[in-house]
Amino acid sequence: MGAKATLSWESFEQIMTDRQQIFDSIAAQITPFNKKGVELTEATTFAGDLEWDSLTVMDFVAAIEDEFDIIITMNMQAEIENIGQLVDAVAKLKG
């Protein structure tokens, strides 16, 4: 059996706080593109719920990259379907 990783409550709270901050920043970036006024949750999809076309996605990705000073590769973009997945990707890229 391998060693189990333990996470302190403080570390868990910090991760969740960071995740909430990332979600809030992403939600703020979505606002100008949210023409239908869709309620945003981690399950909100870009193509289905927000009905974004590829040009809107490209503009939005550029805004997110600028906001967080990261690069989201085309391969990563292809795998990101909802806000929660984007939050995870940003958190990972921010390290």
Would you write out the chain's pLDDT as a tens digit for each of its 95 residues?
556 667 676 665 665 678 999 999 999 999 998 989 999 999 999 999 999 998 999 999 999 999 999 999 999 999 999 999 999 999 999 88
What is the reported pTM? 0.81
Domain CATH number, residue 20: 1.10.1200.10
Whether 24 is in a domain gets the answer yes
Whether 2 is in a domain gets the answer no
The pLDDT of residue 8 is 74
Whether 52 is in a domain gets the answer yes
Whether 4 is in a domain gets the answer no
Whether 41 is in a domain gets the answer yes
The pLDDT of residue 17 is 73
**Four-residue CA torsion sign, 21, 22, 27, 29:** positive
Instruction: Please give the distance of CA 59 from its chain centroid, rounded to a whole number.
Output: 15
